[in-house]
Amino acid sequence: MRKKSYLFVLSIFVQIGLFAQQDSGIEMADVLRSNGKIYVVVSVLLIIFIGIFLYLLSIDRRLKKMESDND
């Protein structure tokens, strides 16, 4: 009985996912893509995520150094 209910819920989520992939006609994305500005947006987001990643790495290194100094 539980297996059937899990399959039912899974089929509902699959159908919702397929419905969400239909063309919704978002004009902003089409305009950015046609002007070539989407690459600017993607590059800015990439720079931000790389910065956050490097910041977290530096914090991790400092914490490891502090932990090793305490031992």
Backbone conformation region of residue 26, classed left if phi is above 0, alpha if psi is from -120 to 50, else beta: beta
> Within a domain: residue 7?
no
> Domain range for residue 66?
23-71
pLDDT confidence tier of residue 25, bands split at 50, 70 and 90: low
> Within a domain: residue 9?
no
Counting the structural domains of the chain, the total is 1
Tokens of 43: 């590059």
HSE of 55, CA atoms in CB hemisphere, 13 A: 6
pLDDT surpasses 80 at 68: yes
In the block, which residue shows the tokens 């090793």? 68
Q: pTM, whole model, 2 decimals?
A: 0.55
pLDDT surpasses 70 at 21: no
Q: What is the largest CA-CA distance in the chain?
A: 59
Q: How far apart are CA 61 and CA 24, in angstroms?
A: 45
